[in-house]
């Protein structure tokens, strides 16, 4: 095993250039913070440069399909393929936006001497996600989930003096470590049954020999718990509203987009590689029938989206409302996975790229408004449509897009999910998802109603700096453009569903 890695060391190292660059950026951030601890404004710049170079090395990974760090002749720890490259690209885009958000967040700025810590921990999260999206081995998956989580536990409680932050991080670490502990126990059982932690090896064991059904099912459900926690599907969602409400807003935005993306990537890879039976021309995955993934995932996603949407109806805090809406979106995304076909996977990728922009946008506007009025209560948004028309209109567009109404991009995302469902003859499920969208309409539009239709004497002035203006435009543009001109996005998604080994 060691000789296998050493003999191709340079090839293997080349495969993880983006991760190496991110690690170097992390080190650079720490060192820069130690040496020049007066010049905090360069830290975001260093982060963005690091992310930019990582992105340059991610681009050539599109279209390739190779493995790195072999553990035996045929198996490896990492697979570098279009699928992982797509998610790495998404994660980098989200990270750049979150770094920019952090520069204007009052919460983050309230701890001026700990900025270096903040950005280096954020890179810890990014490295964890990068390994997560290309991991082929359950132990690597567990380690990267922990790397991602440990950094985010600290970041959720970044403002130490804030009660809300401290509480969020305490709840996050209790829920998070429990669920990852359960996942580890599941991995240990699976290791006992199959004798390996490598997804490909487990796949070949499952194909050739009988495994004890119930034990196997329990271990898979335990692993599913750990992944389900990351993507916050019901019943592993209970942390989401509290942590999203308590954590600093840039971190909330990051958790709701990037860490969810990484979670979905690992779920898809886990299902598709571990259970793949044979290749199929029709694009529908042929899975080993130990676990009925389709029914399981459809069940979870319907519960998730229904719960998320209905719970959001009663929320008065906009951050909490967006938390429940992100649970509901996890449900829609899960439906795309549940189709278990190439078309469904394409729909998930399209949905995710659109969800990234609209969700980050919504959180950013909420953050800018919260910076000024120190509140995320919907009641405090009364009449904002008249005093700050630009921000309110942008928020309106993001919320309409989250609902999934044309001509915004959110509509295209939902449309492709529904197409995939109908093509797989899951009409009933599609109708339930459609009805859910109607429920979602109510709570998103309620925010718009409060902002635009209710008058108040209170006048709020918010200065938008040129940088923030550019960020909002950069988030608005894809939300609107992908709604009418989505062919390039669809093509990229179609070319990115190729997993290693297929």
Partner 1 sequence: MIEVGLNHFLIVSTFLFSLGIYGIITRKNAIMVLMGVELILNSANINFIAFARYGNFGLQGDLIALFVIVLAAAEAAIALAIVLNIYKTLATVNIDEVDSLKD
Contact flag: residue 30 with partner 1 (CB under 8 A): no
Residue 154 or 231 with smaller CB distance to partner 1: 154
Smallest distance from the beta carbon of 155 to partner 1, in angstroms? Answer: 11
Select from 15-23, 43-51, 122-130, 311-319 the region that touches partner 1 (CB under 8 A).
311-319
Residues in the chain: 502
Separation of alpha carbons 351 and 296, rounded Å: 21
CB 460 within 8 A of CB 372: yes
CB 149 within 8 A of CB 191: no
Smallest distance from the beta carbon of 174 to partner 1, in angstroms? Answer: 6
Residue 170 or 221 with smaller CB distance to partner 1: 170
Hey, is 210 helix, strand or coil? Answer: coil
Residue 188 or 280 with smaller CB distance to partner 1: 188
Residue 89 or 241 with smaller CB distance to partner 1: 241
Smallest distance from the beta carbon of 245 to partner 1, in angstroms? Answer: 5
Half-sphere exposure of 100 toward its Cβ, with a 13 Å CA cutoff? Answer: 23
Pattern 237-266, partner 1, x by CB under 8 A: ----xx--xx--------------------
Q: How many CB atoms lie within 10 A of CB 172?
A: 24
**CA 171, 177, 178, 179 torsion-angle sign:** positive
Residue 137 or 342 with smaller CB distance to partner 1: 137
- Give 127's contacts (C-beta < 8 A, 6+ positions apart): 19, 22, 23, 26, 147
Among residues 60, 63, 192, 488, which is the contact residue for partner 1, using CB under 8 A? 192
Q: How many CB atoms lie within 10 A of CB 4?
A: 14
Half-sphere exposure of 359 toward its Cβ, with a 13 Å CA cutoff? Answer: 33
Pattern 122-141, partner 1, x by CB under 8 A: -----------------x--
Question: Rounded to 5 degrees, what angle do the CA atoms 465, 470, 476 make?
Answer: 125
Give Dmax over CA atoms of the chain in angstroms: 74
Smallest distance from the beta carbon of 318 to partner 1, in angstroms? Answer: 14
Pattern 212-241, partner 1, x by CB under 8 A: -----------------------------x
Among residues 36, 52, 314, 390, which is the contact residue for partner 1, using CB under 8 A? 314
Among residues 9, 174, 477, 484, which is the contact residue for partner 1, using CB under 8 A? 174
Smallest distance from the beta carbon of 202 to partner 1, in angstroms? Answer: 12
Q: How far is CA 409 from the centre of its chain?
A: 18
Structure tokens at 191: 């290791």
- Give 190's contacts (C-beta < 8 A, 6+ positions apart): 138, 197, 202, 216, 219, 220, 223
Which positions from 154 through 173 interact with partner 1, judged by CB under 8 A? 154, 157, 160-164, 166-171, 173
Pattern 316-345, partner 1, x by CB under 8 A: ----x-------------------------
> Residues in the site for partner 1, rule: CB under 8 A?
139, 143, 146, 150, 153-154, 157, 160-164, 166-171, 173-174, 177-178, 181-182, 184-185, 187-189, 191-192, 195-197, 241-242, 245-246, 311, 314-315, 320
């Amino acid at each position: 095993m060691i000789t296998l890695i050493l003999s191709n060391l340079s090839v293997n190292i080349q495969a993880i250039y983006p991760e190496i660059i991110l690690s170097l950026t992390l080190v650079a951030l720490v060192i820069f913070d130690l040496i020049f601890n007066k010049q905090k404004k360069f830290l975001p710049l260093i982060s963005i440069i690091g992310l930019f170079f990582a992105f340059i090395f991610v681009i050539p990974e599109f279209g390739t399909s190779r493995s790195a760090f072999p553990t035996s002749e045929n198996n490896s720890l990492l697979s570098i393929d279009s699928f992982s490259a797509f998610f790495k690209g998404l994660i980098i885009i989200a990270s750049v936006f979150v770094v920019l958000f952090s520069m204007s967040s009052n919460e983050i700025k309230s701890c001026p001497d700990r900025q270096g810590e903040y950005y280096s921990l954020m890179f810890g999260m990014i490295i964890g996600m990068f390994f997560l999206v290309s991991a082929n081995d359950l132990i690597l998956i567990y380690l990267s989930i922990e790397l991602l989580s440990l950094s985010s536990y600290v970041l959720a409680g970044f403002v130490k003096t804030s009660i809300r932050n401290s509480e969020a991080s305490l709840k996050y670490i209790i829920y998070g470590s429990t669920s990852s502990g359960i996942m580890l126990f599941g991995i240990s059982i699976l290791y006992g049954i199959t004798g390996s932690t490598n997804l490909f090896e487990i796949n070949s064991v499952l194909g050739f020999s009988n495994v004890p059904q119930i034990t196997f099912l329990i271990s898979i459900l335990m692993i599913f718990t750990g992944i389900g926690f990351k993507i916050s599907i019901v019943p592993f969602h209970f942390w989401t509203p509290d942590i999203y409400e308590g954590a600093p807003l840039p971190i909330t935005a990051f958790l709701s987009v990037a860490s969810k993306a990484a979670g979905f990537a690992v779920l898809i890879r886990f299902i598709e590689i571990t259970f793949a039976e044979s290749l199929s021309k029709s694009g529908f995955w042929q899975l080993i029938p130990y676990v009925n993934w389709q029914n399981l995932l459809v069940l979870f996603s319907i519960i998730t989206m229904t719960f998320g949407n209905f719970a959001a109806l009663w929320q008065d805090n906009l951050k909490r409302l967006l938390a429940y809406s992100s649970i509901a979106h996890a449900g829609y995304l899960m439906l795309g996975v549940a189709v278990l076909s190439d078309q469904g996977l394409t729909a998930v990728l399209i949905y995710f790229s659109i969800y990234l922009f609209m969700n980050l946008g919504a959180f950013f506007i909420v953050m800018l408004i919260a910076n000024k009025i120190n509140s995320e209560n919907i009641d405090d948004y009364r009449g904002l449509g008249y005093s700050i028309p630009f921000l309110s209109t942008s928020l309106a567009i993001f919320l309409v897009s989250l609902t999934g109404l044309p001509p915004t991009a959110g509509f295209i995302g939902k449309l492709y999910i529904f197409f995939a469902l109908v093509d797989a003859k899951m009409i009933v499920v599609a109708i339930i998802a459609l009805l859910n969208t109607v429920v979602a309409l109510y709570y998103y539009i309620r925010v718009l109603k409060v902002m635009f239709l209710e008058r108040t004497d209170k006048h709020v002035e918010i200065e938008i700096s040129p940088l923030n203006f550019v960020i909002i435009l950069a988030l608005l543009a894809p939300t609107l453009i992908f709604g009418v001109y989505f062919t390039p996005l669809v093509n990229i998604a179609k070319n990115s569903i190729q997993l290693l080994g297929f």
